[in-house]
Amino acid sequence: MIFSILSFVFLIAILVLVHEWGHFWTARKLKIKVEEFGFGFPPRVGGITKNGIL
């Protein structure tokens, strides 16, 4: 039962990450400035800055 719940949460997290990445990718292709790519709930625990995007 615990394994099923953890597997479900992990799968949903992966699906949400891919979905949000789709927004990021589309914005970059349309030359819309992207200031931040985030996943999860605020407050931010940490972050990585690459090419001016947090």
Is 20 known to be catalytic?
yes
| Set 9, 10, 11, 20: catalytic member | 20
pTM: 0.72
From first to last of its 54 residues, what are the pLDDT tens digits of the chain? 999 999 999 999 899 889 989 999 999 999 999 888 877 777 776 777 888 887
Residue 51 domain boundaries? 1-54
Nearest Cα neighbor of 36 from 19, 54, 24 is 54
For residue 12, give Cα distances in angstroms to 8, 21, 23, 26, 50: 6, 14, 17, 21, 26
Q: Residue 52's pLDDT is what?
A: 83
Structure confidence at residue 49 (pLDDT): 85
Structural domain tally of the chain?
Answer: 1
